[in-house]
Chains A and B, each alone.
Chain A
Amino acid sequence: MSAHDPHHPSWNRPTPGVGGLRRLASSWRWLGEGLWWIEHAFGRARTEARPEEDTRVRILLIRWVFAAVFVCLALGAARAALMGPAPRTGVSAHPNAMSRADIIDRNGALLATNIIHYGLYIDPAQVWDPDAVVAQIKAAVPRARVSRLRTAVSGDRRVLALARLTPAERKAVHDLALGGLTFEPEDVRVYPLGESARHIIGSVEEGGEAGRSGVEKAFDGQIRAAGADGQPFQTSIDLRIQGVLEYELAAAAEKTEAKGAVGIITDVQTGEVLGMASWPASNSRNLATNATYEMGSVFKTFTVAAAIDTGRADMHTMIDASSALQIGRRRITDYHATNRVLSLEEVYLHSSNIGTSRLATEMGPDVMQDYFRRFGLLEAAPFEIASERPQLPRDWSNSTLASLSFGYGVSITPLQMAAAMGAMTNGGRYIPLTLHKGGVPNTPVRQVISQETSLTLLDLMRRNVANGSGRFADAPGLRVGGKTGSANKSVNGRYSTAHAVGTFAAVFPADGPANARRYQILILMDEPQTYPRTGGYVAAPAVGRIADRIAPFVDVQRRADVWRSATGERLPTFDDVEGDGR
């Protein structure tokens, strides 16, 4: 083909396909025409007798395209190199990341951790003398089951012969230098405290991934998140206080030959649980959260608080307890009848059933129900670890009100009692108990009684320990206040005098302003066998010893008050009112 060849008719007009572009938006037209122009450049150049020019145009075009592409690549590479995010190195996100975080107490003491254990695998093909291997492994790790080892060495493939070898056990087996034995690491949840605090810490499922009970279950998500960051998970528990509580609770339970026992220590101003124990520790059931009890006279505190808070009574109110109170066919008497008119203080210190029954029936069902609800006695305690619901009365008749006033007819968990006593002694604010260190921020707090009522009750509780039934709970200089509770248990629908519950709900120091730092101790003994079985004898002494020992941990200074010197000597003005331990 030469420049003299006839001009092809299609060179100067678009192809039918390109012509179709005319139907598109006008902005696309230049693209079609450009393609057309390039496609027929050779033909056009030949026509215009400048074929070499066309070649140069093409080369130039290709060079520009390549240059542009490479400039873009270079700019992109430079941008990625200079301004991109720092490359991540290493294998995992955090070198100390774990599937579950360590659980620690409020001072950093370890409660639960993950430790690499080892599974022992045996490959029978490499075992020369099966009997010797079994004997040597058994000697190195006495807990190994011989039958399982025999199955492993006589099998036909590599199997797991022994799980959860500790690093020390692994070393012992490794040092045997036997052929065919290999180890594979496995992450195991370990509780170094053994049975101590086990009801609070709880446990994890078999695979070690999900929490099954206690803190492990309640804070499962937070424990995993903290573990991923390599951080420990901190609780409100103080291991020192927990240790004292467990020791003294066990000592008291063994001394009184009780069937079970519960102890709870809380900070009343923050709702933090500092210690919680359920005895016997070998029982998997946490009696503090999962058992309900009729707690007896401790409830008189709520009845008296309601009477004072509603203005129906004050410290000078006189209540007739000279004779038994008759409600329908029911006759309410006092354990230690005084047969006289009592002041409110005497009603509380003598633990008069007649006195509180009179107050309750005068207040009526609405007021009593309202105050019981305010103190959280009618519903399960709001707490991170799920707890039992209370057993409530079927009706709110006068007879029931009388029973409720001295702690019968309603069964609550020790947890509910601890939370209610916290509200009673912190200025009247109901703060849900928590295992979060420092309390839960922005937790809804409700005012259940006035500050004045709270201070009056603190005074009454202190008087009860100084001069009343709670005297065994006194700890020198720590101004302990509290209320005893003693109740017979219902067995087969009837109250049995052979089955009792003795309780002591205490607070220290009971003096100072409503918002002073203050700690609540609840001790409950279930079915003590020694006499007298009242709370003042079975539970109060443990409270005194616990307060005495934990005071330095919570920084409560020993000081004299109007009743006792700083070293516990009685100051001469006041006399004992009652010593019946009820």
Chain B
Amino acid sequence: MTALAVVHRLFNWKVRGIRWIEIIGVALVGVMIFSVYIAKADAARQSASIADKERQIRANGQRVRLLRAEVARLEQPARLEALSREAGLGPVDVHRMVTEQGLPAIAPPPEPRVVVAPPPAEPSPEAASAPAPGSAEDPVR
């Protein structure tokens, strides 16, 4: 019963003769209309953006197809063969072919070079006291 009274009071709470509940309702409706507008405007913008992207994709697709056709024309075997023959090229003779396993037979891998390191010289007292090359004290620098 008390709760009902509170609700009644809330509904009858007026300011300058207008119920608050009505003001709140109108404000909520306003907020809703505005948010719907924002959402729709955003959706329209996104839709336009998607349509634009799709148009770009189509245009690029056209361009890619055109270029691919041009590549196919330029790279067609008949043309390459004619150009190769003109340049004096031809199929490789079987005696000039070798598999990966056959490589060592025609070009043996180079013998590993044995580099004998020079015996380390006894450091003289002068050398020990001389500054290391490239150091800050190096006079050449």
User: What B residues does A476 contact at CB under 8 A?
Assistant: 94
B51–A167 contact, CB under 8 A? no
| Residue B72 is within 8 A (CB to CB) of chain A in the complex | yes
Segment at the A interface, from B2-10, B12-20, B61-69, B111-119 = B61-69
User: What B residues does A96 contact at CB under 8 A?
Assistant: 57-58, 61
| Residue B35 is within 8 A (CB to CB) of chain A in the complex | no
| Contact bitstring B49-83, A, C-beta under 8 A = 1, else 0 | 01100100110011001101111110111101100
- Given A95-B61, A243-B78, A476-B94, answer yes or no on A110-B69 (Cβ-Cβ < 8 Å): yes
**Which of A116, A167, A192 contacts B72, CB < 8 Å?**
A192
B69–A113 contact, CB under 8 A? yes
B57–A95 contact, CB under 8 A? yes
B76–A196 contact, CB under 8 A? yes
Closest-by-CB residue of A relative to B91 is: A549
B51–A89 contact, CB under 8 A? yes
User: What B residues does A557 contact at CB under 8 A?
Assistant: 99
**Which of A89, A91, A247 contacts B77, CB < 8 Å?**
A247
User: What B residues does A244 contact at CB under 8 A?
Assistant: 77
A90–B54 contact, CB under 8 A? yes
Closest-by-CB residue of A relative to B94 is: A476
| Residue B95 is within 8 A (CB to CB) of chain A in the complex | yes
| Residue A109 is within 8 A (CB to CB) of chain B in the complex | yes
A116–B76 contact, CB under 8 A? no
**Closest chain A CB from B101 CB (angstroms):** 11
User: What A residues does B62 contact at CB under 8 A?
Assistant: 115-116
| Residue A558 is within 8 A (CB to CB) of chain B in the complex | yes
| Residue A114 is within 8 A (CB to CB) of chain B in the complex | yes
B77–A196 contact, CB under 8 A? yes
| Residue A240 is within 8 A (CB to CB) of chain B in the complex | yes
| Residue A242 is within 8 A (CB to CB) of chain B in the complex | yes
User: What A residues does B71 contact at CB under 8 A?
Assistant: 110
**By DSSP majority rule, is chain B's interface helix, strand, loop, or mixed?**
helix
Closest-by-CB residue of A relative to B51 is: A90
| Contact bitstring A168-210, B, C-beta under 8 A = 1, else 0 | 0000000000000000000000101110100000000000000
Report the interface size for chain B: residues with CB under 8 A from the other chain: 28
Closest-by-CB residue of A relative to B99 is: A557
User: What A residues does B50 contact at CB under 8 A?
Assistant: 89-90
In whole angstroms, what is the CA distance A438 to B65 when docked? 26
Closest-by-CB residue of A relative to B70 is: A192
| Residue A246 is within 8 A (CB to CB) of chain B in the complex | yes
- Which residues in window 547-580 of A have CB below 8 A to B? 548-549, 557-558, 567-568
**Closest chain B CB from A263 CB (angstroms):** 14
**Closest chain B CB from A170 CB (angstroms):** 12
B47–A194 contact, CB under 8 A? no
In whole angstroms, what is the CA distance A455 to B80 when docked? 39
Name the residue in A90, A91, A196, A477 with the highest tally of chain B Cβ atoms < 10 Å from its Cβ: A90
In whole angstroms, what is the CA distance A89 to B48 when docked? 9
**Closest chain A CB from B133 CB (angstroms):** 56
B78–A247 contact, CB under 8 A? yes
In whole angstroms, what is the CA distance A242 to B72 when docked? 14
| Residue A133 is within 8 A (CB to CB) of chain B in the complex | no
**Closest chain B CB from A200 CB (angstroms):** 14
B73–A192 contact, CB under 8 A? yes
A102–B65 contact, CB under 8 A? yes
| Residue A458 is within 8 A (CB to CB) of chain B in the complex | no
Interfacial residues, chain B to chain A (CB-CB below 8 A): 46-47, 50-51, 54, 57-58, 61-62, 65-66, 68-73, 75-78, 80-81, 91, 94-95, 97, 99
Interfacial residues, chain A to chain B (CB-CB below 8 A): 89-92, 95-96, 102, 109-111, 113-116, 167, 190, 192-194, 196, 239-240, 242-244, 246-247, 476-477, 545, 548-549, 557-558, 567-568
Could you list 13 A-B pairs, sorted by A, with CB under 8 Å?
Answer: A89-B51, A91-B54, A96-B58, A109-B75, A115-B69, A193-B76, A194-B76, A239-B76, A243-B77, A243-B81, A244-B77, A246-B78, A545-B91
Q: 11 additional contacts, CB 8 Å, given A109-B72, A192-B70, A243-B77?
A: A90-B54, A92-B54, A96-B58, A113-B68, A116-B62, A192-B69, A194-B78, A242-B77, A243-B76, A243-B78, A548-B91
